[in-house]
A and B are shown apart, each in its own frame.
Chain A
Amino acid sequence: MLRVLLIDDTPRKIGRLKSALIEAGFEVIDESGLTIDLPERVEAIRPDVVLIDTDSPGRDVLEQVVLVSRDQPRPIVMFTDDSDPGAMRQAIRAGVSAYIVEGIQAKRLKPILDVAMARFETDQAIRAQLQAREQQLAERKRIELAKGMLMKMRDCKEEEAYTLMRRQAMSRQQKLIQVAEQIIAMNELLGQ
């Protein structure tokens, strides 16, 4: 069963949406009010979807949402009784996966949440690719740095420095990046 973390500080709305979610077959965990420990709550509860009211806490909620989405990525769905397209765009920019207008029928909730989760997974995959690219660049820079240090220390050419680093890494069953980090650390220690 999909687990929904429902956050709101207006009990009037929660009453309707909560019963609609339960009717649609979700397990609903009710959080009254948005607190600063929301990231910890999300980590503890591990919901499949975070459902949050845009309306009452206003702009600050979106800031908190970004924080949650950065540290504990979960699909986040907004609900509101205000179908203002501007607010909707703002929410999507902040990493929100879908938008529900209050008063929605129970049977329409599930498809919306399913789409939200699918979209979230795609976003995550793209984000992971970007992170991998950044990691590659960062590793390359560290290896280049270590290679430069080694060329200076050993007074050798680039190709030879690479070969020396790789032989060292391979004979210790390590990755090249590990040996590069060791060279950089040693260089710092010796104050070169």
Chain B
Amino acid sequence: MTEPATPHRHDALAWVAGSDAPEKSTLNLGFLPLTDAASLIVAATQGFAQPFGLTLNLHRQNSWSALRDKLTGGELDAAHGLYGLIYAVHLGIGGSPAVDMAVLMGLAQNGQSITLSAPLKAAGVTSPEALRNRVRQSDARMTLAHTFPTGTHALWLYYWLAANGIHPLQDVRTLVLPPSQMVTHLQAGRIDGFCAGEPWGAQAIAEGVGFTLATSQSIWPDHPEKVLGCTRAFVEQYPNTARALVMAILEASRFIDQSQENRRSTAQLIAGSEYVNAPLAAIESRFLGSYQDGLGNTWHDEHPLRFFADGAANMPYLSDGLWFMTQLRRWGLLRQDPDYQLVASQVQQIELYRQAAETLGIAVPESPMRNATLMDGKTWDGSDPAAYARSFTLHAMADQAVASAL
């Protein structure tokens, strides 16, 4: 065997050789057919896991609910997950009993979009103002789909609508569909629009059945999106395995973001029928940051889907976890304020991430909080989640509604 050339590879071997070797060497990983699952797919197939003593078996899922059930049932060890889904399971919101969950790392930022139908385009509903007017004037309620009741797409869609003066739970009808079925339902006229991950927005444009009204990065530049999620029991039972898994995926994420050539070959890989199973043409442009909205506008996005960004995309910020809870609270999915700080510090595995990143020489931010300014000009720094959740004009908090009626 040749001497390892890079220092991180050398350290990686030390994990395997010493007492930090993974307790479990073969892992079952779940993902949904979305381009932001790329780092998992690359890690599992391109030799990023073996140096850490792991074999990663990928299991594509047809719905987030199936992924959740297999994750909590132990059939999957870890998965490509929606931020809000992990928190909803942890907090016991939705169709499953509460199970303590963990966010091991961020997998991707940006890259989701809100798509509206071709008939709306033909009717001139191609701007937020036109949509608001349409919603207010039309008798028939518009139907907009997202991907999971407590998922990121629900929260991006709600945030965007509310920022444009449309109440997502009163002014329109929202429903849940698996992302890969969005284009078919849009074409059939069963929905008027959807918010989902790529390539489904680009695919709607390619098939001529829709156009992009907004990108998720226009709501919150460099917003947290998918995470690597697992149960807390998994982290506690297999801490070395969890750390090795984070390291393998960090290496794969670094590789994808290293060059356009690497990104292009990643797009070619994930287009495969075992993975995203979509035409390369629909995947490639937005994967490389190049957008067209189906209305004649093209641009190179300043905040495209990204997997690494020197670790900025991977740090499981406490403030990111807190933000999703504030939005679950804002829209009444959480009926009371949770103990925000406590829950976020239980779920976000910052210490484990820090160990993994530092071993690979990846910078870890000093603060577990980060600042952001969202599309409506509101700033978020994680300092007072309960007040932030209450600070929105449009919301669905029952106690506030009662308070304002008095």
- Give the interface of A toward B (CB within 8 A): 128-129, 132-133, 135-136, 139-141, 143-144, 147-148, 157-159, 162-163, 166-167, 169-177
Contacts and interface: CB of A to CB of B under 8 A. Distances in A.
Contacts of A169: 45-46, 269
A158 B26 CA distance: 27
Contact of B265 (A159, A170, A175): A170
Given A143-B50, A159-B6, A167 B265 contact: yes
Report the interface size class on chain B: 20 to 34
Interface in B41-87: 42, 45-47, 50-51, 53-55
B271 A158 contact: no
Given A133-B25, A173-B272, 17 more contacts: A129-B24, A136-B25, A136-B53, A140-B50, A147-B2, A148-B2, A157-B5, A158-B5, A163-B255, A163-B258, A169-B269, A170-B46, A171-B264, A171-B265, A173-B271, A174-B45, A176-B45
Interface of A is mostly: helix
Interface of B: 1-2, 4-6, 24-26, 42, 45-47, 50-51, 53-55, 255, 258, 261-262, 264-266, 268-269, 271-272, 274
B47 A176 contact: yes
A138 B45 CA distance: 15
Contact of B45 (A129, A133, A140, A175): A175
A166 B47 contact: yes
**By CB atoms of chain A within 10 A, which of B5, B24, B258, B271 has the most?**
B5
B1 A141 contact: yes
A166 B255 contact: yes
Contacts of B25: 129, 132-133, 136
A182 to B, nearest CB: 14
B51 A140 contact: yes
A129 B255 CA distance: 28
A159 B5 contact: yes
Contacts of A171: 264-265, 268-269
A139 B271 CA distance: 25
A11 B112 CA distance: 73
Contact of B54 (A136, A144, A163, A175): A136
